Amino acid sequence: MLEAPITRNFSHTSFQLRCFPELREHRWILALLFFLCFLSVLLGNSVLVYVIRRVENLHSPMYFLICMLCIVDTLVVTTILPNMLLTLLFNWNHISLASCLIQMFFTHFLSSLESTLLMAMALDRYVAICRPLHYMDIMNSSMCLRLLLFTLLRSVSIMSTLVVLASSLWFCHSNTIQHCYCDHMALVKLACVSTEKNHAAGLVVIICFVGVDIPIIFFSYMKILNVVLRAAASEERLKAFHTCTTHLIVMMCFYLVGTITFLSGGLNIPIATGINTLMGVMYILIPATVNPIIYGVCTKEIRCGLQRLFKLRARNVRSLKVSPGKGQT
């Protein structure tokens, strides 16, 4: 760890990532677990995207949003996990300030995209269930385009501001980032100048995403439950209640953990460094791992589409095996 006198004429341009130093003796086991999670994310999300693309019945706004969620989940995990594995396995923990800021931007940018996609999926289900006769008029290609532009503008503008403010800081204390990747607050903590603007920007992020998206998601699911519980049979009510509560629990965990890790430094929340690092990794890794199960395996249409593709592939394989025999006779 490098130290330097506090001066405006010096600022670190390279840093060291400390990824779970308390578990250094067990880093191989930790790396194996993260590697298996990485494979699970890649496999689960890739299969879901493949099924949605190949099955024509799934070419609708709802499944387009699920497909986008899978792509975002894969990208955000790929942004942090390969570097984490290199750090754990080979102690390749050095990172330049420029690379750190780039990783910070894409990590928070993609996480914000996921938040917007979850909100859009909740609104899509609200329109489909509560206003079914107007669904095609509301959720048309024009609405999807406007939603995409809104998502990109909101995420790019806010996260760019966050990174620009972080890049203007002077880092003349320690150059050791107590995290597995370049998290915003983990880097800002190392600054030797005022970070009030950075903490304010972090609060704006929470207000713009958590403060806006959560109420819309919660309202949408409450309206959906209200309609379904009044109209459906008892078995269908139980199924709808289970589906909605599962979605809400996963979403609330995503938002709650993300909010705590994002604001822990600014609000001086007393959280152990190892716990804070684990929460910062899990809030990215867990949704990317379980989303293919929640929105894929647990969705009847996607399950049927996957079975159809498997049957078609098996039929093609059998026909290829039979063809040479026919040719010989």
User: pLDDT by residue (tens digit) across 263-290?
Assistant: 665 566 667 788 888 888 988 998 899 8
Interhelix angle 61-90/27-54, nearest 10 degrees: 160
Sheet bearing 14-17, strands edge to edge: 94-96, 14-17, 176-177
DSSP code, position 265? T
Q: Which of 215, 55, 254 is nearest to 126 (CA)?
A: 215
Condensed to tens digits (0 to 9), the pLDDT of residues 153-178 reads 999 999 999 999 999 999 987 889 98
Write the pLDDT tens digit of every residue in 95-125: 999 999 999 999 999 999 998 988 888 888 8
Residue 167: phi and psi, rounded to 5, are -70, -20
User: Which range scores top for mean pLDDT: 21-25, 31-35, 273-277?
Assistant: 31-35
CA distance 282 to 253: 10
- Here the tokens at position 182 are 């370049």
Q: How far is CA 181 from CA 77, 248, 266, in A?
A: 11, 28, 18
Report the C-alpha gap between 224 and 216 in whole angstroms: 12
